[in-house]
Structure formats: C-alpha cells, structure tokens
Amino acid sequence: MPLYSTQNIKLYNSLSGEKENFTPIHEGNVGMYVCGPTVYSNVHLGNVRTFMSFDIIFRYLIHLGYKVRYVRNITDVGHMVDDIDEGEDKIAKKARLEQLEPMEVVQRYTVDFHQTLKAFNFLPPSIEPTATGHIIEQIEIIKQIVASGIGYEANGSIYFDVVKYNENHNYGILSGRNIEDMLANTRDLDGQSDKKNPQDFALWKKAEQQHIMRWPSPWGEGFPGWHLECTAMSTKYLGNHFDIHGGGMDLKFPHHECEIAQNEACTGQTPVNYWMHANMLTLNGKKMAKSTGNNILPGEILSGDNTILSKPFPASVARFFMLQAHYRSILDFSDDAIVAAEKGYKRLMEALDTLNQIPTSKTSSLDIAAWKQLCYDAMNDDFNTPILIAHLFEGVRYTNILKDGKETLTEADLTTFKKAMNDLLFDVLGLENEKSSNSQNDKLEGTVNLLIEMRNQARADKNFALSDQIRDQLLAIGIQLKDGKEGTSFTI
C-alpha cells in the first residue's frame, strides 16, 4: 500500500484562497508545472527560494509514493523588459549589450542556473522544456485563439482581446482583479499602440528590423509573447487539465492570469486544479536589488565572497535556513539568521550520529509512531516545513534522553525512529550531512594519496607496467594524476 493512501494532504489553492484536500486527477499520479527562470542573468537567491519550495513539494509527493511528472521550463525568448508587451526582449537586450549571440546568453545563464540548483541539492525536473523549442506549438495555440474570435491581428502582431474574453469568462479569477476597475485605472491609449484595449496582451509580436530573435509565422516574422510559452509547454506535457501549477507570487498577475485565459480560450476548460505561489525573500529587511547593492548571489554565500555575511556557509545550511519559514511567508535573510540556522542544522546532524549509538530495550517508553505522524501531519498541512522542523528538534530531544538512559526504545521502534529522521531530513527536506560529505572527501583523498605512493614505489622499482596501470585505472574512474616538480597531485 503506497504511503499516500494513509496521508491526507491539504494545500493552499491561490484560485480559491483556501486550503483544499489534494486529490490528483489520476490516482497515484501527479502532474506539476512550475514557471522556470528567464535566463538573461545569474539566478538570484529569491529564485532559489521559489524553486526550493517546489523541490520540497516534488520530494514529498515522491516520498509518499506518487508518480510525479514535474515540468519546469526555461524562458529563453519573449520575456519583455518590465514584463510588458512593449520594449525589448530581456535576452536580446543582454545579447546586444554584450555583443553576443542570444543563445550564448541563454547557454551561459542556463548553466549557471543548473550549477546553482545542483549545489543546493535540488532534484532535476522530469522535463525541462525551452520556449524556443516550442515555437510551433505556440503558433498553433495562437491560431486556435484567433479562430475563437478572442485573438486579433494588428500590424503583424497578434493580441488577446481581454474585454471580449471577459464577456463569457472571468479575467481576474486568480488575482481577484476586476476588469472594469483595471480599465478605469488605465490611461487612455495614445494612438501609438496596436491594442484595442490597454489590458490586451501579446500572443505574437512582430519583429522589427533590429530585433535579432525572430521566427516565421502566418503573420510574418516575429516572436511569441511571454505568457504563451507556459500554456504551450504545460499542456503539451501534462494535458489540457492537470493538477498543480506553481511559481513565484509575482507571477500571479499578469502571467498566470493570462495563462488561464489562453487555456480557456483554446480548450473551454480551466487548465489547473491547484495554483500555488511561493513568497519573496528579503535581505536585511529590505527588498533585494542589484541597483542598491542590497543583494547576494547563491554562490557568494557558499564562497564567503561578499560584504554581507561574516563567513561562508555550506549549501545545506542555507537550504535549512530557507526551510525554517513556510513557503507562503516572506523570509528575511541576514547574517544573524543564517548563523542561527547553522547551529540548528548542526544539532540535527549530531543527533543522527548519536542515534547510531543508542542501545535497544525490551520495551519502548516513547511513542515513536505518534511522533512520526506529527511530522507527516506538518507536511500534509500545506507542506509546512517549519512545523516539521520543530518536530524534528523534538526528535533531537528524544535522542538525547535516550542517550542518557532516561527513556527506552525497542529495536523495531529505534529502527523506525532512525529511518523517519533520515527520510525526513534527507529525502523530504533535501538536506545533506556536510560533516559526512567532508569525511568522505577526506577518505577519498587518503585513498588516492596511498595509490600515488604505491605508484611512486613502482616507478622507483622500475615496475612501469604497474605504475601505468595505477594511473590509467584512476583516470578511468575520473581521477587524473599530474606529475610535477613538487611531486604528484590529482584532480577529479
């Protein structure tokens, strides 16, 4: 029996504004789409927190036994400066400023994104599609919207008619905005725009002569609007109706609102059962911004190369810090906060070491099953990681009183306790035991140095066959020896 059959998840649905029982469309299977990065700059810490929120959800669903198809896209075209339909594509602008091909910009920052998430121990998504890889699908959706009478052409661009759509639908259903209020609070069109209404958004933009990212279409050369790509990729890989759509709180309007409108215009049905949004990260009580200097990159936390923190911090400590707040809460990052998080993280890792030294007894004086269920109850309550962490610290207290002999556990209960602590800390929260990792690195270095000594002795004995065998076999597993004036070193 899968674990999910005994656990009832309630998650906060941005669409209803309430916590709802989670019931997948297809039993045992979950389709989840999360808006990924626009790859025109280094991934920032706020991005990491948003994607970490959905990494936790992904991990927990897998832990419960669900088969999850997690789709997280890469936006490599179509995202306008200031998130409006006018102006310059962010990637094209970066390419122009740095005199690069747009795909060079995309490659550079996609690699940075992947390296950063790997450092923080993220699970990769099931599918990671790109906007440029789905131009055909986007054009087909535009054709359907135009055929429905809700899309219209103007000077080589295609726009979504929000007012016409709102005649039979509710534009604003997710954000709670009223179309009449939006129209009333918008300046009159000055005659320079091709839109019928200020709220209309671009499905396809005509590429002007200087625009370097362009594709052929039935309406001439151009490029897709930002909102369209997620509709195309989510429906292609998850179907017209799927379980969860996530992203940062800032995407609720207009991006996700426009996605709902596009889907309903094409398919006549709402695309998603549960909309989920992660909140923002601040730094020292203020909004993070490169322009003011109130900013820190993820890599700068790990290296210590910054003017904000007192020292470098391992990725698992930074990860643990972020998980101490609920994903829907604003979280403030500071030196004091991460120093405190490091102390808590070390207490948890030390408790795991202590657990391996606990003797068993014929009886249990602690109710491990009840404690374990409290941990699951926390995650079942809208993935409440801070409450889970509080219960894990109760597990630390259990460990200490067991060590002191004040309480006892049977062998079966101790095994259950150990497994639950490890599963929740490593599989669900995605932490890594930095002490264990350092210990493994020390062992690897000691082993390779021993083989280097054996190779040096073989060379001294003129046993070059053995010397070459040691070198070649190490190389075969990814360890390269380098002979120099000061001796032999190695790289992995």
- Over residues 213-239, the mean pLDDT reads 96
Phi, psi of 237 (to 5 degrees): -100, -15
Task: Please report whether residue 285 resides in a domain.
Answer: no
Domain end residue (candidates: 405, 428, 451):
428
What does the alpha-carbon distance between residue 472 and residue 490 come to, in Å, rounded to a whole number?
13
What does the alpha-carbon distance between residue 31 and residue 21 come to, in Å, rounded to a whole number?
16
Task: Please report whether residue 283 resides in a domain.
Answer: no
Task: Please report whether residue 255 resides in a domain.
Answer: yes
Same-domain pairing of 346 and 484 = no
Q: Does the pLDDT at position 81 exceed 60? A: no
- Over residues 334-362, the mean pLDDT reads 96
- Over residues 115-144, the mean pLDDT reads 98
Q: Does the pLDDT at position 220 exceed 80? A: yes
Same-domain pairing of 333 and 245 = no
Query: What is the pTM for the complete model shown?
Result: 0.87
> How would residue 469 be classed by pLDDT, with cut points 50, 70 and 90?
confident
What does the alpha-carbon distance between residue 396 and residue 159 come to, in Å, rounded to a whole number?
58
Task: Please report whether residue 290 resides in a domain.
Answer: no
Same-domain pairing of 71 and 216 = yes
pLDDT value of position 177: 93
How many domains does the structure of the chain reveal? 3
Per-residue pLDDT of 417-454, as tens digits, reads 999 999 999 999 999 998 644 455 566 777 888 888 88
Q: Does the pLDDT at position 133 exceed 70? A: yes
* Alpha-carbon distance values, 231 to 35, 161, 166 (Å): 11, 17, 19
Q: Does the pLDDT at position 140 exceed 50? A: yes
Is the distance from CB of 412 to CB of 362 less than 8 angstroms? no
pLDDT value of position 42: 92
Least reliable range by pLDDT among 217-221, 335-339, 456-460: 456-460
- Determine the structural domain holding residue 472 and report its residue range: 434-491
Same-domain pairing of 27 and 13 = yes
Q: Does the pLDDT at position 108 exceed 60? A: yes
Same-domain pairing of 258 and 243 = yes
- Over residues 402-423, the mean pLDDT reads 97
Q: What is the mean pLDDT of the chain?
A: 92
**Structure tokens of 170?**
């509710």
The total number of residues written for the chain in this structure: 492
Q: Is 167 exposed, middle or buried (0-12, 13-18, 19+ CB in 10 A)?
A: exposed
Q: Which residues of 186-201 are buried (b: 16+ CB within 10 A; e: fewer)?
A: eeeeeeeebbebebbb
Same-domain pairing of 162 and 187 = yes
Phi, psi of 332 (to 5 degrees): -105, 125
The number of CA neighbours under 13 Å toward the Cβ of 23 is 2
Check residues 5 and 481 and name the one with the higher pLDDT: 5
Domain end residue (candidates: 400, 428, 456):
428
Task: Please report whether residue 299 resides in a domain.
Answer: no
What does the alpha-carbon distance between residue 394 and residue 6 come to, in Å, rounded to a whole number?
23
DSSP 50-111: HHHHHHHHHHHHHHTT-EEEEEE-BB-S--BGGGSSSS-BHHHHHHHHHT--HHHHHHHHHH
Residues contacting 456, CB < 8 A, separation 6+:
488
Task: Please report whether residue 286 resides in a domain.
Answer: no
Residue 51 belongs to a domain with what CATH number? Answer: 3.40.50.620
Per-residue pLDDT of 253-297, as tens digits, reads 999 999 999 999 999 999 999 999 999 999 999 988 766 778 899
Same-domain pairing of 412 and 438 = no
Task: Please report whether residue 419 resides in a domain.
Answer: yes
Same-domain pairing of 140 and 259 = yes
The number of CA neighbours under 13 Å toward the Cβ of 34 is 29
Same-domain pairing of 129 and 210 = yes
- Rounded to an integer, what is the distance from CA 28 to the centroid of its chain? 22
Same-domain pairing of 392 and 479 = no
Same-domain pairing of 10 and 96 = yes
Domain end residue (candidates: 390, 412, 428):
428
Task: Please report whether residue 238 resides in a domain.
Answer: yes
Same-domain pairing of 442 and 401 = no
Q: Does the pLDDT at position 80 exceed 70? A: no
Question: With pLDDT > 70 as the criterion, what percentage of the chain qualifies?
Answer: 93
